[in-house]
Structure 1
């Protein structure tokens, strides 16, 4: 009989089509969106069934023998949705009518529809059994081929006795063998595809890791630069601090020694003046020590905040007398303005609020040689923030701060310019401590400054 030879030839045609279909899927469909890719793969399987019929063996004008069931077997092995398996069987069955309408075409359609339903059930069953590929493939191939032979015997136009005695003994074993070989080819193809996907995934992960290493290297370089800058700032701070501590301490020691050695010969007025100098030097020394201790407490999380009701009308008395003499000595205008819409009281820590305002005003007077210094207290609503805020804005007409230094002056041990500490004095800790204290009070400090035109430092505290 010509059936075995015909089936081998038909299988060769299917293998060729499968190779071409793989190329089409790989280069035309694989990069498409998920839905298009899914539908494209289904249409390729249906086209494979039609291709098998087109090159099939015509026993008569209407009867065609071929391996159209192989694409359906592939669908059972590949897809996880049984409805897709049935759709493939139904689609292959419908393509049978493209070769003409006849009883044989109707029988072929019904046969593929039944095989599609059974294939969908096998698809569900195999996934529940969780068998390995070879056992599942053997079961599917035997069941589908036996059912195909029975369907043709019952539904086909060939007499049943003749079909079972003269055709099935050749077609069934050959179909089982060829389907088994095709299953092995499919298994090898799947493994190769899995290796390709695994290699692609490994390459993707390697690329991501390389990019991540590059980013980490940049971050490490930035951190190394930051550590180097921090070390440089600390060195400058220690050098400046040595001068700041030594100056008042030497004054205290020298004046105290002078008084003790020549107290009897020194007029009382001069002794009093020396005592005042010792007192002011001691205050300066205590302020430096307090700044260092406050910074240490904030960094260690040991600074306690005590919330009390604060009358905003009393705030001018905290700082007014303290800086009026400074303003008079430097011939600067000093104004304190309270808006009429302010509430009577706010709840915060009066000691820390006073410390922040004195730090901001001290900086304003230190870096302003002409013009004015102003403290304005008002209520504001920030669009980016919830609720209402009380703002303490300290504005000066001093030297200002360069734009590139705006993000560094709030860091500990840093000043806008290392020469500032030499020219104006100070530890450079005031803004860092004030910024930390403002956060502990539930607020923040905002800065606006233009080099050569002055600065405005605004303390925002929540009203509730």
Structure 2
């Protein structure tokens, strides 16, 4: 079917009136086709696409109502103006229900018809623009979906590779660490002991990197949350105790505090919370040369109807992070600057792991930091309450 966009089909079995309406259309510069019967009009409609059909309602053979129904079925984008007389059997309601866009009562002046045509062409233009816009958005959405699927597939391949390689490293690394531990029980000279200590430090650092790669890979695959009861105070205490030996090696003071309004027991996923705390604490110890690291748990002022929002903060007195780098550090394999990478070995995955885990507890993570004054990392967790608020907890210090 040929597309005659902007063309009008005028239908009337009264040839004098048909010619008159044609002159009206021509005076406004419209391109038009004439049809002296409903049957002739249907033949034109089956061959071409018209923007507007102006049709009389009372015609011999195929009348205007039958023609409108045919247009609605075979050319739904075409607008119809029905020409009716005062004595016609068809009312305004009848022709609009049949699918006409407008109607005009005969006899009518030229200006009235031209005004109706102008409105219909304007509406058609807006509708066509909307269709193009919708198609554009549909195409863009399809492209974005394809790109998303490509990225997901690439991530699956990458994570599978990381997972496989990391596991392949774990077995020999465990053997190396085990034999190094056995060597410490043998008789060694002072120089040999120093060498052994350096080897152990390097091996432990490599083991830490492997475990971090595994954590990063697993954080992307983790889909289901646990929903169990736990004690926030116990989670903090376990986390602090685990990191205490590393803090002691550097002479750092380590403390934690649970605010009095934090409930004794909560419901949620303690493993995710503990993993985030572990990563943030390890970072704090790594980037703090002297001073103190403190952890605090408090209830946010905003309270959802089904529980509370718990806010954790980890404050250190380390080197600080430049303001321009505070968003970048949450990306995978990123540290605040190259000099930090040289001074503080690591893959730069700890914060990326936290960023992936935080949404699983319906929380968020952010940082406040100043160069040479330290950093405070915050994250929140949305949890359900099980009991009234607990009394203040004592601090644990290392």
TM-score, normalisation: structure 2: 0.53
2:330 match: secondary structure: coil
What corresponds to 1:403 in structure 2?
A: 323
8 A contact 1:381–1:387 mirrored in 2: no
Which residue pairs with 1:429 in the alignment? 349
Structure 1: distance between partners of 2:335 and 2:248: 27
Matched residues in 2 for 1:344 and 1:404: separation? 39
Partner of 2:310: 390
Counterpart of 1:53?
none
Alignment partner, residue 297 of structure 1: 218
Q: Deviations over 1:379-428 (max 9, x none)?
A: 33326896323332101122323333333322222333244222211111
Contact 1:342 1:378 in 2 (8 A): yes
Please name the residue that 2:231 is paired with: 311
Asked if 1:356 corresponds to 2:276, the answer is yes
Tell me what 2:92 maps to.
123
Deviations, residues 52-111 of structure 1 (Å, cap 9, x unaligned): xxxxxxxxxxxxxxxxxxxxxxxx9689xxxxx9xxxxxxxxxxxxxxxxxxxxxxxxxx
- C-alpha distance in 2 between matches for 1:200 and 1:355: 55
Deviation, 1:430, is 0.4
Residue number in structure 1 paired with 2:297: 377
Q: Is the 8 A contact 1:380 1:391 kept in 2?
A: yes
- Displacement, 1:306? 4.5
For residue 343 of structure 1, report the CA deviation from its aligned partner: 2.6
Tell me the SS of whatever aligns to 1:381.
coil
Q: Does 1:439 align with 2:359?
A: yes
Name the Cα RMSD after superposition: 5.6
Structure 2 counterpart of 1:163: none
Q: Which sections of structure 2, spanning at least 5 residues, go unmatched? A: 1-20, 29-80, 152-157, 163-168, 385-398
Q: Looking at secondary structure, tell me which structure has more helix per residue.
A: 1
Query: TM-score with structure 1 length normalisation?
Result: 0.47
Across the two proteins, how many residue pairs are aligned to each other? 292
Q: Within 2, Cα distance between the matches of 1:132 and 1:342?
A: 65
Q: Please state how far the C-alpha of 1:462 moved relative to its aligned partner.
A: 3.0
Q: Is the 8 A contact 2:82 2:100 kept in 1?
A: no
Q: Deviations over 1:317-343 (max 9, x none)?
A: 424444444444444433222323333
The structure with more radius of gyration: 1
What are the within-5 Å matches in structure 2 for residues 21-420 of structure 1?
Answer: 122-127=91-96, 141=106, 179=107, 190-191=116-117, 194-195=120-121, 197-199=123-125, 202=128, 267=188, 278-301=199-222, 305-382=225-302, 387-420=307-340
Secondary structure of the corresponding residue to residue 347 of structure 2: coil
Q: What runs of 5+ residues in structure 1 fail to find an aligned partner?
A: 1-14, 23-75, 80-84, 86-114, 142-178, 228-233, 239-244
Give 1:211 deviation, angstroms.
10
For residues 347 and 197 of structure 2, the distance between their equivalents in structure 1, rounded to whole angstroms, comes to: 23
> 1:290 Cα shift?
1.6
Q: 1: distance between equivalents of 2:97 and 2:270?
A: 72
The answer on whether the counterparts of 1:334 and 1:372 sit within 8 Å (CA) in structure 2 is yes
For residues 132 and 415 of structure 1, what CA distance do their matches in structure 2 show? 64
Name the CA distance, whole Å, in 2 between partners of 1:268 and 1:132.
100
2: distance between equivalents of 1:370 and 1:192? 79
Measured after TM superposition, the shift of residue 289 of structure 1 is 1.3
1:360 Cα offset (Å): 0.8
Of Structure 1 and Structure 2, the greater strand share is in 2
The Cα of 1:202 is off from its aligned counterpart by: 4.8
Query: CA 1:211/1:347 → structure 2, altered by over 3 Å: closer, same or farther?
Result: closer
Cα distance in 1 for residues equivalent to 2:198 and 2:110: 101
Match of 1:456 in 2: 376
Q: Distance in 2 between matches of 1:421 and 1:450?
A: 18
The residue aligned with 2:31 is none
Paired residue secondary structure (2:285): helix
Of structures 1 and 2, the one scoring higher in RCO (CA 8 A, sep 6+) is 2
